Amino acid sequence: MEGLYNFLVSLDGMLGGADWFPFVLLGVGLFFTIYLKFPQIRFFTHAWKVVTGKYDHSDDPGDTTHFRALTTALSGTVGTGNISGVAFAIFLGGPAALFWMWATAFLGMTTKFVEVTLSHKYRVQTEDGSMAGGPMYFMDRGLNMKWLAVAFAIATVVSSFGTGNLPQSNGIATSIEATFGFEPWIVGSVLGILLALVILGGIQRIAAVTARIVPIMAVVYLIGALAVIFANIENIGPSFAAVISDAFTGSAAAGGFLGASLAYAFNRGVNRGLFSNEAGQGSAPIAHAAAKTKEPASEGMVSLLEPFIDTIIICTITGLVILSSGVWKEKHENVFDRSDMIFVAGEYSDKADDDKVQLYGFLNSTGDSDVKPYTGPISVVNGTAVTSGYTLINARSIAEDVQYLVGNEDPFTGTLQIKDGKPLKQNLVVKGKSLVHSATLTTIAFTRGWFGDFGQYIVSVGLLLFAFSTAIAWSYYGDRAMTYLLGPRSIMPYRVIYVAGFVWASFSDTTLVWALSAVAIVVMTLPNLFGIVLLSKEMKQTVDQYWQSVKDKQ
């Protein structure tokens, strides 16, 4: 697994983690924002009217209403990105990461407006009478680029696992285990059965289920979050100030105790923003293509609300919970993931400024550090190391009160062999105090409010509903892509593999899953952005014609 993780990290470094990717993503959003005269502001009120059904006609072609198309698409975006993803972004980039998530969402409102409108315009009716749409159809029928459409459809299938399946299952299982103590494989198996029962019903059942889940999960999560925010109300002002100031000045406090550069916070914030709202990824247009309407731009209006709801509202609330509670800077008892920990040669302290500078350079690969991975033996007696000359780093922090166990219960006694910073013993379990991230960080933050320890149950329930609905929606995205590639007969085998992957991810390495999701997002986003830019003139004409017709009817 470590070899796969290293490969994914390397690949992500060349794609989503590269310096150019955030500029491409935001650049396309900025271009369309200016070109279409700020549609996220001009059409914001009108979009709400469309969602409420003011312009609905029962005889319009399509499979579902505007509202249900919105909730299906929202269920695909509101997931672990809003709970785990925000926590991971703040862990890596500090408060500044939240600012760049806002920027991604604001510009992403326009990007999603464009991709949904064009996808709806070129949708088709399949053999079974249902609607099928998405970027692969405007690439094929609008651009006459079959090769690009095929590439996007393949990337969609991959992303259905990397975005909508594996990290969602992993996030649920991690949170449920931490809160209720249930084994991850049990959680994954039970939810896998429920997932299968829902997705076998197609878009009608999927839309019906998500239309019920999305409002419920939003209310539950909001109540728990506000309980923390108001309990720490004195920290809200400083938290907002840190988000703004750190975005332009950088912060030594960002990214854990070792800090993160301004560029790193920008990169992580944009990438997590994309993972959360998926604006530009081309996923939501697949759900919106099923909406009942003759006007593609009207469904585009509905879609521009998604990044606003998903990121500007829900992600901001999560971010304020984490920042105002202060838990993102504290060390907590946890089990260390192998991918998160590394042994380095020498003894370091997080209270010594020189040591922090050296470790910062090492972890951020600045080239200004003498720190090297540790290779050699470590003697352990009854779970406690008695060897000196090394430091264990976990989750970008120096680990404390470390215990080495076998089988998660029995203290280890013997000699551990460490090579290039990693233990060679495979069944070794390492526990201790360190910084935490992802769902674990958000779960702890929710205990710092009026509900006390009960707050962790709100996160667990919220994450369960958020992530499970995301998995449902993404199964539909994947089967539409498979329909385009191989026809309707490929849907059932895909669904079987999809459910099996959901179960597997519940007990796999958290960091490995996030690495896979980061790569999967980018390989889907780039073809989509390329396609919508090529159709920019047609997009403007479509919007202008629609808006003129709306004004003529008033």
438 contacts 514 by C-beta, under 8 angstroms: yes
Domain boundary among 407, 434, 461: 434
Tell me phi and psi for residue 144, to 5 degrees: 60, 40
Strand-pairing partners, residue 423, are 418
User: Which residue shows structure tokens 């995205």?
Assistant: 477
Is residue 440 in some structural domain?
A: no
Cα separation, 322 vs 6, whole angstroms: 29
Domain boundary among 434, 469, 503: 434
Do 106 and 219 have their domain in common? yes
Question: What 8-state DSSP symbol labels residue 11?
Answer: H
Is residue 525 in some structural domain?
A: yes
Count CB-CB contacts under 10 A for residue 264: 20
Do 417 and 470 have their domain in common? no
Do 137 and 50 have their domain in common? yes
Do 233 and 203 have their domain in common? yes
Count CB-CB contacts under 10 A for residue 518: 24
Is residue 439 in some structural domain?
A: no
Question: Under 8 Å CB-to-CB from 41, ≥6 apart: which residues?
Answer: none
Tell me phi and psi for residue 339, to 5 degrees: -70, -20
pTM tops 0.85, yes or no: no
529 contacts 28 by C-beta, under 8 angstroms: yes
Starting from the edge strand earliest in sequence, which strands make up the sheet with 341-345, in order? Answer: 341-345, 390-394, 397-398
Q: How far is CA 197 from CA 159, 200, 437, 472, in A?
A: 22, 6, 32, 10
For residue 183, the Cα-to-chain-centroid distance in whole angstroms is 23
Report DSSP letters for 359-371, one per residue: HHHHHTT-S----
Count CB-CB contacts under 10 A for residue 2: 11
Is residue 498 in some structural domain?
A: yes
Do 369 and 499 have their domain in common? no
Q: Is 417 strand, coil or helix?
A: strand
Domain boundary among 434, 453, 488: 434
Q: Would you state the structure tokens that stand for residue 26, as one six-digit string?
A: 């935001």
Q: What is the pLDDT of residue 202?
A: 67
Q: What is the pLDDT of residue 322?
A: 94
Instruction: Look at residues 218, 282, 189 and name the one whose alpha carbon lies nearest to residue 499.
Output: 189
Q: What is the pLDDT of residue 259?
A: 52
Do 40 and 70 have their domain in common? yes
Question: Under 8 Å CB-to-CB from 548, ≥6 apart: which residues?
Answer: none
Instruction: Look at residues 23, 80, 37 and name the one whose alpha carbon lies nearest to residue 440.
Output: 80
Q: How far is CA 318 from CA 33, 82, 105, 151, 224, in A?
A: 27, 7, 15, 35, 10
Strand-pairing partners, residue 393, are 342, 398
Q: What is the pLDDT of residue 257?
A: 43
Number of structural domains, the chain?
2
Do 243 and 314 have their domain in common? yes
Is residue 495 in some structural domain?
A: yes
Do 308 and 354 have their domain in common? no
Is residue 141 in some structural domain?
A: yes
Do 339 and 483 have their domain in common? no
How many residues are present in the chain? 554
Q: At what angle do helices 236-249 and 262-277 cross, to 10 degrees?
A: 120
Cα separation, 287 vs 393, whole angstroms: 43
Domain harbouring 203, CATH code = 1.20.1740
Do 355 and 483 have their domain in common? no
295: containing domain = 1-330+445-553
Is residue 77 in some structural domain?
A: yes
Question: Under 8 Å CB-to-CB from 97, ≥6 apart: which residues?
Answer: 89, 90, 254, 265, 268, 269, 272
pLDDT tens digit at each of 554 positions of the chain: 667 777 777 777 777 667 788 888 889 999 999 999 999 999 999 998 888 877 666 666 655 666 777 776 676 666 667 787 888 888 877 888 888 888 888 999 999 999 999 998 999 887 777 788 899 999 999 999 999 999 899 889 988 887 788 878 887 887 788 778 888 889 889 988 988 888 877 666 776 777 777 778 778 888 999 999 999 999 999 999 888 887 777 554 444 444 555 666 676 667 677 766 788 889 889 988 888 888 889 889 988 998 898 888 988 999 999 999 999 989 999 999 888 899 999 999 888 888 888 888 888 777 778 899 999 999 999 999 999 999 999 988 999 999 999 976 789 999 999 999 999 988 899 999 999 988 889 989 999 999 998 888 888 888 788 788 888 888 888 989 998 999 888 989 999 999 999 998 888 765 666 677 677 778 888 999 999 999 999 999 999 999 998 887 76
Q: What is the pLDDT of residue 294?
A: 83
Q: What is the pLDDT of residue 183?
A: 86
Do 269 and 234 have their domain in common? yes
362 contacts 344 by C-beta, under 8 angstroms: yes
Do 263 and 345 have their domain in common? no
Q: What is the pLDDT of residue 254?
A: 41
Q: What is the pLDDT of residue 392?
A: 95
